[in-house]
Amino acid sequence: MKRVLLVLLACLVVAMSLAACGSGDSAAPSTSQGSAVSSGTADASNAQGLPGRFAETKKITVEVFDRAVDGGTKAEDNFYTNFIKEGMLRDYNVEVTFVPVPRWTETEQMNNLLAAGTAPDVCLTYSYPTVQTYANMGGIVDLAPLLESNKDKLTDLYSLLGEENINWNKDPDKGTIWAIESMLFQNKRINTFVREDWLKKLNMAEPTTLEEFETMLKAFKDNASTLLGANANKMIPFLLSVDIGWTADHLLTSFIPNSFTDSEKEYFANNFDDRHLLATGYKNGVKKLNEWYNAGLVWKDFPLYPAGDKNIDNQMKAGYVGAFIHNWDYPYRNGDDSIAANIKKLAGADAAYVAIETFKNDAGVYKKFLSAPIDRKIFFPSTNKETEASLLYLNWISKLDNRKFLQIGEEGVTHEVLPDGIIKSIATTGEKFMNSPYNIDYTMTINGLDLGDKDLTTKSVALGYAGVEPKYVQKAYELTSKDAFIEKHINVGPIKSEEGMGPALKEKRDNMLVQSVTAKPEKFDSIFDSGMKDYLASGGKAIIDERAAAYDKYHK
């Protein structure tokens, strides 16, 4: 009997040793550090892998914006998605599948996915009302208890976002968190750009007032043959898109009285539209665009192309556009296929877009409206059955080493390191091309370059646009946030009247602005006023009233 027991004991020891050896992933041990996961669903003692690796492979799906970039790669399957997939499998034993969503219709697409119950496990959107709508229907996971119970495992996520961004949307009464806010690391937004070489040809200085800007547009139109030669009939003094609130932002907001932001309550109640449609004086800015359109100073065909349509950028790339308003660095993006690179190929080495300040408000200030340091809203739909693995995904992409690689890529391929440590981008094509600036579509917890050193980051931004002289980027970087008004975080919990209204009100806003700009001058007032009346009656007024009441409740 003793011999039998000894044999059985020996067999048991061997079996346990074999089981222990087979409990980890077959990949080589990771040398990076991570957060330990101690729940019963994860292997906290796995000596062969990163502390926190799951014993059994978990599978999650992650949303990624698809920008359909010319010369780009598949948003859901490329060099950078593979880097993330391999890292998550190695470090946490989590298998990641990316789900592409069109960038320019992301709100509508996300509504469809959530309604169908097919949304990815990890989602992001710019529309918080969309999140709130489905949260009220039981379609969104409350992150508050998950974040609290897993906080010790999410050190990189908390280090990047801080308590403020993570708790930004926390309900002041119920304590629920339906979405966390990613970090807007460089709070930059919009610039006004003009063709510097055209100004030189016409012996004109950069315009510093609305009147000078208008004079410049007229000069571009009147001298189309000088500037464009045989393509004179394709001249576009000022470019617009159907997203007028964005591509005319600096002009429109310059008509808003400087005092509009003095009343915190008034600003909060009327500022749910991120294009500032409801601000005092906005109509006057739209009327100025109407004047320009009827005078032939604005692209006649702009209503034909939806936001994000490639033909809009193609007008600039072809060298037909004198001035436009867009993202603060827009002409310098995308390396060899950037707007800046294309106009140099067609119009010569001197061809360039330069950022300017030209639209003063009534106080003589070039006031820019910037958001608080928040960006995309990250949330988990209720169909997510792997919430812990999803949180670890957010932690993994928030780790400095991981997001730094995603933002600047490989040394010698997508960037070079100068002697003083500054990062200089290299124009890249093929599999390692980045579809978005600093790969922001894969670093969903941060928008903006962060190298871990503020001074190094700032200097590197100027060299982050391959083929573009740093002086242009530096000027654009400075002007876009000069004299900025940064929105304050005012948390009043959910606004019921906003739920589900985002896409509908956006469509009404864009349509009324397009119709107003393209109207005959004598029809402008009636078209704008009727459009605004419809916008307010369709939910806008209810939102204003509820926001004002909520402000009084929590902040009076």
Say what percent of the chain tops pLDDT 70.
91
* Rounded alpha-carbon distances, angstroms, from residue 475 to 191, 354, 404, 480: 10, 8, 25, 9
For residue 50, the model assigns a pLDDT of 60
Dist. CA 241–CA 252, nearest whole Å: 14
Are 235 and 163 members of one domain?
A: no
Domain assignment present for 416? no
CATH number for position 396: 3.40.190.10
Query: In terms of domains, do 62 and 84 share one?
Result: yes
pLDDT at 327: 96
* 8 A C-beta contact, residue 493 and residue 366: no
Q: What is the pLDDT of residue 18?
A: 35
Least Cα distance to 71 among 320, 324, 319, 341 occurs for: 341
Residue 519 within any structural domain of the chain: no
The verdict on residue 462 lying in a domain is no
Same domain, 195 and 167: no
In a domain, 552, yes or no: no
In a shared domain, residues 195 and 112: no
Please list, in sequence order, all residues whose beta carbon lies within 8 angstroms of the beta carbon of residue 421, skipping any fewer than 6 positions away. Answer: 453, 456
In a domain, residue 487? The reply is no
Max Cα separation, the chain? 108
- Domain count of the fold of the chain: 2
- The verdict on 277 and 296 lying in the same domain is yes
Residue 203, in any domain of the structure: yes
Helix (H) or strand (E) holding 377: strand 374-379
61 and 118 in a single domain? The answer is yes
Do 31 and 131 reside in the same domain of the chain?
yes
Residue 45 has pLDDT above 70, yes or no: no
Q: What is the pLDDT of residue 467?
A: 87
Which residue range is the domain that position 135 belongs to? 25-183+375-402
pLDDT band for position 37 (50/70/90)? Answer: very low
pLDDT in tens, 390-434: 999 999 999 999 999 999 999 999 999 999 999 999 989 999 999
Q: Which of 349, 370, 391 is at the close of a domain?
A: 370
For CA atoms 482, 488, 494, 495, the dihedral sign is negative
pLDDT recorded at residue 40? 33
Beta bridge partners of 321: 236
Does residue 151 lie within any of the structural domains? yes
pLDDT for residue 53? 85
Q: Which helix H or strand E contains 511, and what residues bound it? A: helix 502-518
Whether residues 249 and 106 share a domain: the answer is no
133 and 256 both lie in a single domain? no
Binned at pLDDT 50, 70 and 90, residue 11 comes out as: very low
**Could you tell me if 514 and 293 are in contact, meaning their C-beta atoms sit under 8 angstroms apart?**
no
Q: Tokens 């020891």 sit at which residue?
A: 13
Determine the Cα angle at 436 with ends 69 and 469, to 5°.
100
List the single range of 294-298, 307-311, 369-373, 526-530 with lowest mean pLDDT. Answer: 307-311
- Give residue 51's pLDDT: 61
Q: Which range (242-251, 352-361, 458-467) has the least confidence?
A: 458-467
Task: Answer yes or no: do 88 and 143 share one domain.
Answer: yes
207 shares a domain with 306: yes
Q: Please check whether residue 35 is in contact with residue 52, taking contact to mean a CB–CB distance below 8 angstroms.
A: yes
Q: Which of 386, 402, 418 is the last residue of a domain?
A: 402
| pLDDT on residue 19 | 36
Q: Is 100 helix (H, G, I), strand (E, B) or coil?
A: strand
| 252 within domain boundaries | yes
Pair (213, 259) in one structural domain? yes
Find out whether 101 and 110 touch, Cβ atoms under 8 Å. Answer: yes
- Claim: this prediction has a pTM higher than 0.85: no
Contact 209, 358 (CB under 8 A): yes
DSSP sequence for 180-232: EEEEESS---EEEEEEHHHHHHTT-PPP-SHHHHHHHHHHHHHTHHHHHGGGG
Task: For 298-325, give one letter per residue: b (16+ CB within 10 A) or e.
Answer: bbeebbebeebeeebbebbbbbbbbbbb
pLDDT confidence band for 343 (50 / 70 / 90): very high
